Structure 1
């Protein structure tokens, strides 16, 4: 007697994230949403229609050594800093996800990329699901991004966008944004995980089939992560994050994932009234101008592969308050508190009776330990009313024992300092913060030109 086949049970599926279960539950076990688990049809008419389509002609597998990379040359986007992050340009068929906080300038950056690509003779389709074509046109007029090869479409339906791709035949597709486009093949409203997954996977499939590079804008949540299902980051080839404080004009683009290049490159931009401008050499943005004053010191920070000089400024004021103020901007308050403790205990620089203010120039944020030595020297000079040479930089991590430890990529930092004209580099060779401060005092006495106040 033949074995009895198990009965097929129609599962239940979450309309938010696609999670399935054999029995109904009120709360999804994956995304924890209430009331989103519904009975899934065994096979919808759309699914049957897709399954009935005969597969296309298959391609024979070839040895990897026989693959010619000349078939997929990189194309410049026309924006050098963006190309830098991508690894040298846009790869045909690449799916690029650009995320960032609202108002940081994602649409402005991509409109500039679209305009530069159009000026290079490549047809671009910019599909905006968040703005009307008139609104995009107004921004293009303000930023000088008008060109006949730049096509606009204000659509929220994925099928309509695919129709525009057939009509325009672009060489670059920009979709702004994936959370505001919906597909009829998926349940739920635009922005829900199932919709985001369906829209992204369809756009990526079209990109691969046509060797059409597509740049997709993604929103971020309150904690800074990309909104939507995690699979979105796995589907795309490149994940870029657009960062910047809206109180300043400086913007950074970082590659969090890149299948075609490094992930430690950073692109620098400046938001202006006329749009977004590249900053190939951002050194001047993070340095003060004028003669040296007490309480300043320059360090070399790393932003990806870039070594940037950043000026640290400190100000101290005598106080009789039982709890002196510690105000910081652009640096980690916990590290500043540690540096102050080390200064007082190991270098005999009394700061317990003073309000201390520490800040960076240009709105840049220093989070790496390599800035410890510069912070310590700036505070010590503020207390003693000393200046140091404008040709001196400090690079080193400070320990609780007062020891100065070497930092990562110190040779690259020192090389950048030398290229920018800094003659003296204070680093781990000074051994301790006490010795470093004494060496500075010795240099001031030996070369009065380095310290006009002595």
Structure 2
């Protein structure tokens, strides 16, 4: 084995340590690792050299998808599970990753599909107890409790299941490697061998991954590059609603989300997603409604704000579900264009329902809610605010605006504030504003 240094952010490899990664520029991310350089005793098959071919001349077969029967889960995966698909799912401890995987096994078992559930963290008794609580009764689920990745690979090759699950990738290891489970070397080599196995056999594999305190899957970023799909399980720890988000998908659209509710019988899909993001209270001060796009669907969300005189030396700026830097930028735009003094005020912004979003469509709703809180007056009833706000205070149109408007009209909203530069069909319920000064005047 040879010693190398491996960047946990971008996967760059180098022979010497440095405080800063030469590739991505991240500080303190180069970790010492080992590379397997020994020769394999197995005979190597000589493969014929491949030659370049024109893409239009290549033959291909349309891949079929394996449906789980749960619409929200199939939607996140791009329409179902593809043969040989490698999926990495991450989330905070206790959020429901293992519960979801056990329920997935039950969903597939009901379709007479054999599932191999490999656990490296829990005993067979623990999993049996949870399966009894979740009413998992399928006879097509096989359990293997081991920390040895080679045993898992052998079980997959011998049993040839329709679906395999490894919970979790940080807990399993290859004994022949001189490294602890969860280290860079083990994660890279274990994932690589599992990848080759399931691709050759055409078996879809789910890998459960731990997350860091920043909420990202623990371990090197190269694992996310190796897999086909990366899913994140989001939601507040004590909230009953959970969000499954696809941040990478080679077989479907990214940023697609599925909504689930945690019950005493496990996770069930949410039939009407718009209900969980609204408080259902009319005319609240500091509250505005917006419409965002997540993947291929639009959602109505509620923005809550609170502006209050600061009791401390440094005013607080707290954003829940939003980027902190986005809030700072919008506050600067508000002060610059409307001459509103916020330097001695605490500002709190929250997206209800536990959703997190970076959609610029929220900008106009956030500013409207802040104006409402500062004036201590509620906004116009049944109004929706959809628009991106530039640094000079101009309101810009957002993508797929027709979808936004159609969704809000279906739900009975009577006024829709959008950019005056947007090209949409004339509608008496649509109010166009040029900048936030025009928005301020329209809200009086």
TM class by shorter chain equals 0.7 to 0.9
Partner of 2:440: 437
Listed as ranges, the matches of 1:73-84 within 5 Å are 73-84=64-75
Contact 2:334 2:367 in 1 (8 A): yes
Cα deviations by residue, 1:107-143 (Å, 9 ceiling, x for unpaired): 1111111110011111111011111111111222222
Call closer, same or farther: CA 1:138–1:415 in 2, change over 3 Å: same
CA distance in structure 2 between the partners assigned to 1:291 and 1:233 by the alignment: 43
Call closer, same or farther: CA 1:78–1:132 in 2, change over 3 Å: farther
Partner of 1:152: 143
Call closer, same or farther: CA 1:115–1:60 in 2, change over 3 Å: farther
Partner of 2:403: 412
Partner of 1:421: 412
Offset of residue 347 of structure 1: 3.8
Offset of residue 86 of structure 1: 1.5
The one of 54, 69, 77 aligned to 2:61: 69
Cα deviations by residue, 1:1-50 (Å, 9 ceiling, x for unpaired): xxxxxxxxxxx6128869797xxx8999998556x669x8763xxx12x1
Partner of 2:231: 240
Call closer, same or farther: CA 1:388–1:217 in 2, change over 3 Å: same
The one of 190, 210, 221 aligned to 1:219: 210
Q: What SS is found at the alignment partner of 1:152?
A: strand
The one of 37, 44, 51 aligned to 2:43: 51
Contact 1:254 1:266 in 2 (8 A): yes
Contact 1:16 1:188 in 2 (8 A): no
Q: What SS is found at the alignment partner of 1:179?
A: coil
CA distance in structure 2 between the partners assigned to 1:357 and 1:193 by the alignment: 39
Offset of residue 424 of structure 1: 1.6
1:250 partnered with 2:253: no
Offset of residue 319 of structure 1: 7.3
CA distance in structure 1 between the partners assigned to 2:338 and 2:20 by the alignment: 57
Q: What SS is found at the alignment partner of 1:311?
A: strand
CA distance in structure 2 between the partners assigned to 1:322 and 1:199 by the alignment: 51
The one of 100, 105, 113 aligned to 1:122: 113
Offset of residue 65 of structure 1: 5.5
Task: Name whichever of 202-211 and 329-338 sits farther off.
Answer: 329-338
Q: What SS is found at the alignment partner of 1:426?
A: strand
Partner of 1:5: none
Partner of 1:360: 351
CA distance in structure 2 between the partners assigned to 1:327 and 1:216 by the alignment: 34
Offset of residue 172 of structure 1: 0.7
Offset of residue 321 of structure 1: 7.9
Offset of residue 211 of structure 1: 1.7
Task: Name whichever of 129-138 and 100-109 sits farther off.
Answer: 100-109
CA distance in structure 1 between the partners assigned to 2:312 and 2:436 by the alignment: 28
TM-score (structure 1 length as normaliser): 0.79
Offset of residue 337 of structure 1: 4.6
Call closer, same or farther: CA 1:27–1:320 in 2, change over 3 Å: closer
CA distance in structure 2 between the partners assigned to 1:253 and 1:336 by the alignment: 25
CA distance in structure 1 between the partners assigned to 2:141 and 2:436 by the alignment: 58
Partner of 1:388: 379
1:278 partnered with 2:274: no
TM-score (structure 2 length as normaliser): 0.81
Partner of 2:299: 308
Listed as ranges, the matches of 1:6-405 within 5 Å are 13-14=2-3, 32-33=30-31, 43=39, 47-48=40-41, 50-51=42-43, 67-70=59-62, 72-166=63-157, 168-317=159-308, 327-343=318-334, 346-347=337-338, 356-405=347-396
Q: What SS is found at the alignment partner of 1:362?
A: helix
Contact 2:90 2:233 in 1 (8 A): yes
Query: Greater Rg, structure 1 or structure 2?
Result: 1
Unaligned stretches of 5+ residues in structure 1: 1-11, 442-454
Call closer, same or farther: CA 1:218–1:15 in 2, change over 3 Å: farther
Partner of 2:426: none
Partner of 1:3: none
Unaligned stretches of 5+ residues in structure 2: 7-11, 22-28, 421-432
Call closer, same or farther: CA 1:60–1:344 in 2, change over 3 Å: closer
Contact 1:14 1:20 in 2 (8 A): no
CA distance in structure 1 between the partners assigned to 2:274 and 2:267 by the alignment: 18
Call closer, same or farther: CA 1:432–1:235 in 2, change over 3 Å: closer
**Structure with greater helix share of residues:** 1
**Structure with greater strand share of residues:** 2
Contact 1:393 1:426 in 2 (8 A): yes
